[in-house]
Structure 1
């Protein structure tokens, strides 16, 4: 008696005709009638997953891995229909070829009987093409249906703050306790000229939460202000065209007047925002290291340049406070932090502070070139692994894999040589090396940001700034050294 594996796939729970239980019952019945043994561990089921991509189906990939074992664990794979195996002709041809040529395993459809002749090959290809066409056409039909519903004013998403949908396909109804928050947001913005940031802080101070029970942020308030749903409109975004959207009058009751909606819309339409200038190079070496004592978020580092004095200053501020989530400012100057930090380091390492000395020439290592080489090495390693997978999966022949492997391996060797040259030049001692102490390193302008960050993170896990008590607490990586 031959051993069989069965593969079951269903896209959605609505496909009752193809439900997992129905497929399993029919497949086991076929196996029994045709003298196939089906062990329980060889029953593979993917529920609620599309058949368009094989790598997104965990049970399918597990079955393929099992099929490649030696000796082969089963002789055939039974499916209810070929479209259960795959709706992509590319995947279907790839994996059927792999199973047949390398594993000696056939895929059998229990409802589409095919013989081992040339006409069956043509018929199977037609069935696979029809399955792929059905999948693509279904996607188009779903989009058409959603678009048509949006044009008629139907809503197709989770209700926003201020509304609720108690039953499926029901028109969104106003939820009064949340609606009061929404009306307050528009009132503060239009009549009291409060910014989204100020509104978020005020709502958080009063203990109000978003629809998902999170504190309000500046961007949350802006989303609410820009949402036409509150004025009685439905906005449907077409995914295939990022700039195209449908805006139509909805069937639900509005929370704000048309005049209020147009006032807010005009404000954001006419507002001219200066593009944010991103600083070049590495991020600040203190980034992510200092935490807010109030909310636990990281303190962001901000750069300020005074052109008259030709000086640059750095300040830290709580990320949560910047968004309106945290109610307490935790602004801290880099100068004050650095002074306290170096004092703490010297206290913890009074005799070992010079152990972390680094020569100036070490700091001049071309870190950008080194990083570029490392990234290139990583990309070529991935390319080599993909070439190997393509050969194992039957996509490439042995000759094709050998040519690709030789070319990629040559590139990897050249990159590794470049990395070694950079390391050798770094390790070359100067005739008169200048050494920096740990405190000098953190305050030096010639030391790169990445070097400072690496040194600091090797010593300290994180720092907590408590603005209320005006304290900085340093959590060292070494046990019993937190200060």
Structure 2
């Protein structure tokens, strides 16, 4: 049986339940694309690769539109992560990745990855771009989880000599207060000649001051990057359809009350739930219209607005290190502190 399945895999035949975006129409034939589900898949890859959203943020975004997984459940961080790593979406076949009994992921040399017979939903280029980001941010089991950071500047600081990332180490002051010390990863491995490093106690103030100066002077230099998304959801249409469906729900609960199925209290409770859902959807629609209006504005104004939004997050105590770090990565490519010349350079970017 195993040998037969292996031969089928090598021929590119699909031998498992197809993932979100596909369905089996005829037994023994390759799965076909489900258009509406394929849009979800494309949106996930675009938001992860081009917009830099985290798995958690993508899941929250999809759930806000009322979308479901192939099992009819709300999206979770792990379901988005699974989709991002699944080569089926670019027309490939991946077989023998896990053990059936324990679901343990096997060594990669045991996997079979080959060209599949099913049509691709995304390009191989988009899939590879997603894998590149995943490999750069993924932390294996046993190490620090990818969703936690020692500092909100983690991953952004680069060595002025070798270009490698400055990694953080938690330190303690005499009074027991904790802080981070950033040092060149390359130097610790003998690959960089200069021991470039700086304390977060100094760096935090300088970064915040630099961003504040940009906002005060409105003088900012940034890279304008091209953003060319593939087919995605018409978010307004999706939300409008949900609003229309609420009207049908209201009629049904009225009918249940008139026919004596529900009591007056039950009717009022159900009506309140629907009203709350309606208000939430209307607010989402309002924000989308506002965002569409902003997209027509001058890029420099849009850049400054994004910087202002991120700055407000950084100086607030209501956000975690993770949230602050994710916010910074929406506008900053890298930060270089040159201890020798006592200079700090922040490289901003904005998607067109």
Scaled to the shorter chain, the TM-score interval is: 0.3 to 0.5
Q: Greater relative contact order (Cα 8 A, min sep 6): structure 1 or 2?
A: 2
Decide which structure has the larger Cα Rg and report it: 1
Q: Please, what TM-score do these two structures have when normalized by structure 1?
A: 0.28
Q: Please, what TM-score do these two structures have when normalized by structure 2?
A: 0.38
